[in-house]
Each structure stands twice: as structure tokens, then as C-alpha cells.
Structure 1
Amino acid sequence: MKQIELLFEKFLWNSRLIVLTAVIASLAAAIGLFYLTSVDVYHLVLHVTHYGDPNLTAEMRENIRAETVAHVVAAVDGYLLSTVMLIFALGLYELFISKIDAAEQSQGSSRVLFIRNLDDLKDRLAKVVLMILVVTFFERSVRMAFEGPLDLLYFAIGILLVSLALYFTHKSGGHAPGEKTESGH
């Protein structure tokens, strides 16, 4: 009976390796998003080179400027989403498979990629997702057409809510470097 129990426990422990599929898929998604966003930025730069054309009217220049700002914000959004997938892949690997020795040995590596527990992973992902929402809000606000005072009021309330979300996120993680909170980080 003890032999069956040991075999089952070994099988159970090794079943965590199924997480490798999520790690590889998340890493592939991150690479794909980095590629897509980089191609978009390349085409954006090509598009912006027309801005100096002396034949453009002021209205055409304004349209290029507005489109450029919107595309830059979309690029930031794409890179942030890529980062989410990368952090997620690294976090899952460290939590379920093994610590990444190369990351621990690297002196210049960022602390954002060190994941100690599931709460740590969720916290890092939540902050990046919040930044994606802020960038998306900004992107929509650039394209927004105000038709009356109520639209302006709604816009101001949106800015207030985004600001509060950023404030509380910063406040919740606002402990001194090296200081541990009750959750251990």
C-alpha cells in the first residue's frame, strides 16, 4: 500500500509540469505581441515622415498628429500587454516548475520579474493590467468628441476614477524598500 501511495504522490507532484503548456503558450503570445506592436511602430514611423511635407494643409497635419498620438498610445498598450504575458509566463514557471537560476545570478535584473508566491504574481499582473486600462482610457480620450458639458463632466469623472485607481494601487504597494508587509512582500 505504501508503494502505491508513493507512486501516486510522485504522479501528483509531476502533474504540475502541465503548467509548462501555459508557460510556453504565454511566452509565444508575448513574442507575437511584441512582434505585432513593433511592426505597427515601424509603419507609424513611416507614416510620420510625411508630416514634414510642405504640401500638407494645417488640417492634414492635425489629422496626422492625432493619428500618431493614438497609434503611439496603442503601441504602449501592445507592449504593456506583451509584458503581462511575459510576467505571467515567468511567474508560472517560478511558482510551479523551478526558480530561474539565470535571473537570480544576474545582478542587473529587475525585481519585477521575481515572483515569490501567487499573490505576488497577481499583484504584478494587476498593476500592469491597470496601466493597460489607463493607456486605453487615454487612447479613447484622444479620439473623444465633446458634444456638450455633460460629456466634459463624464470625462472629468473618468479622469478622477483613473487617478484614484492609480493612487490606491500606489498606496497599497507603498512600503519602504526591503520592508515586508503582512503578506510577505
Structure 2
Amino acid sequence: MSATDQVIFDFRFLALLAVGGSLAGSLLCFLDGCVYIIDAYKIYWNSCLKGVLSGKMVLRLVEAIDVYLAGTVMLIFAMGLYGLFISNAADNLAPADDRALKGSSLFGMFALRERPRWMKISSLDELKTKVGHVIVMILLVKMFEKSKMVTISTGLDLLSYSVCIFLSSASLYILHNLHKDDHK
């Protein structure tokens, strides 16, 4: 390998910037989701004390799901980039030989026996597909969040709302069936 080839090949380590940034963003998203959950509890207990229940608590929980999904996208993206550009682990590596699995437990409680299928990313197309699935889920959660604010006053409003739910469900069904072979 020539010196130019080596320099160009070593530029793959720039992906570590994206990995680090995505992991930091993922952490922030997960912490922000916890703030939404705490806020939902505050709203619930305050409304119980007042005797008036509102939909604000559910809205906070949906916002938490949305932020958790965004954090999950960033986590999948970071792990995928790391696996594609930095890590040199073989796809058919036995779980007993996988160094990442040996230290991947939280105080020894949640040890992985093998890498989850979603972590086995072998191409950029596969990474884009996995991230795309989670982004579609985020869009559906956002649609649900916005639908809580919609007032249905006419038959056309109800029809539009029904079509929106149908199209959302159909998009999930189609996405699932497009990559059914990938899950096997």
C-alpha cells in the first residue's frame, strides 16, 4: 500500500467524529426524554390534586417517546458508522470470540450472549434502511402528537383523519414487508 493510499485509508477515522457526536446527541435525547417523563408525573399529580384531568400528561409521554426514538436513531447511526469504518470485527465471529460482548453488561446484569441483529450492519444501504425505519416511527409519533390537537367538527375532518391513520398504518406495513427477508 502506497503512502497516499495509507493516508486516504486513514481518513476513515474521521468517522469517529460522527460516532462521538451521535453518541453525545443520543445521550442528550435520552436525558431529555427522562425530563419529559418527570414532567408527565408532575402534571398527573397536580391534576389529581385539582381533580381535573387533562391530556397534557399523555402529550408529554408521546413527546418522550419521540425524543427516545430520536436518541435511538443517533445510537444506531453511531454504532453503524463505527462498525462500517472503524471496527474490524468479522460478521461471522463466534459470540465467545467477540471482544465487545465480554464487557457489554451493566454491572454484570445485562450481558449479551450475541450481538443483536440490528447491530450487524454490513453496508451503508443497510444503515440507511435501519435509520429510515426509526425515522418513519418518529414521523408517526409526531403525527399522533399533532392529532391530539386537531378538532374534528365535520365529516370531511373525520375522513381526513381516518385517511391519515390508514396511510400511516400502510406505510408501517409496507416498510415491514419490504425488508421481511432481512429479518430472517
TM range (shorter): 0.7 to 0.9
Task: State the Cα distance separating 1:140 from its structure 2 match.
Answer: 1.1
Name which of 119, 124, 142 aligns with 1:113: 119
- Contact kept in structure 2, 1:31 and 1:82, CA below 8 Å: yes
Percent of aligned pairs with the same residue?
A: 33
Q: List structure 1 segments (4+ residues) > 6 angstroms apart after TM superposition.
A: none
Structure 1 CA distance for aligned equivalents of residues 16 and 182 of structure 2: 35
Change (3 A) 1:102 1:156: farther
Provide the alpha-carbon RMSD of the alignment: 1.9
Q: TM-score, normalised by structure 1?
A: 0.82
Summarize deviations over 1:80-113 as a string: whole Å, max 9, x none. Answer: 0000000000101111111465445641542222
Task: State the Cα distance separating 1:114 from its structure 2 match.
Answer: 2.1
Task: State the Cα distance separating 1:47 from its structure 2 match.
Answer: 2.0
Task: State the Cα distance separating 1:151 from its structure 2 match.
Answer: 1.2
Structure whose residues are more often helix by fraction: 1
Change (3 A) 1:102 1:162: farther
Name which of 167, 170, 174 aligns with 1:164: 170
Which AA in structure 2 matches 1:73? V
Structure 2 CA distance for aligned equivalents of residues 164 and 80 of structure 1: 20
- Contact kept in structure 1, 2:39 and 2:60, CA below 8 Å: no
Structure 1 CA distance for aligned equivalents of residues 183 and 59 of structure 2: 36
Structure 2 CA distance for aligned equivalents of residues 89 and 10 of structure 1: 24
Extract unaligned runs of 5+ from structure 2.
90-97, 103-111
Higher gyration radius (CA): 1
2:19 is matched with which residue?
23
2:40 is matched with which residue?
44
| Bigger RCO (CA 8 Å, 6+ sep) | 1
Give aligned pairs, total: 167
- Contact kept in structure 1, 2:36 and 2:63, CA below 8 Å: no
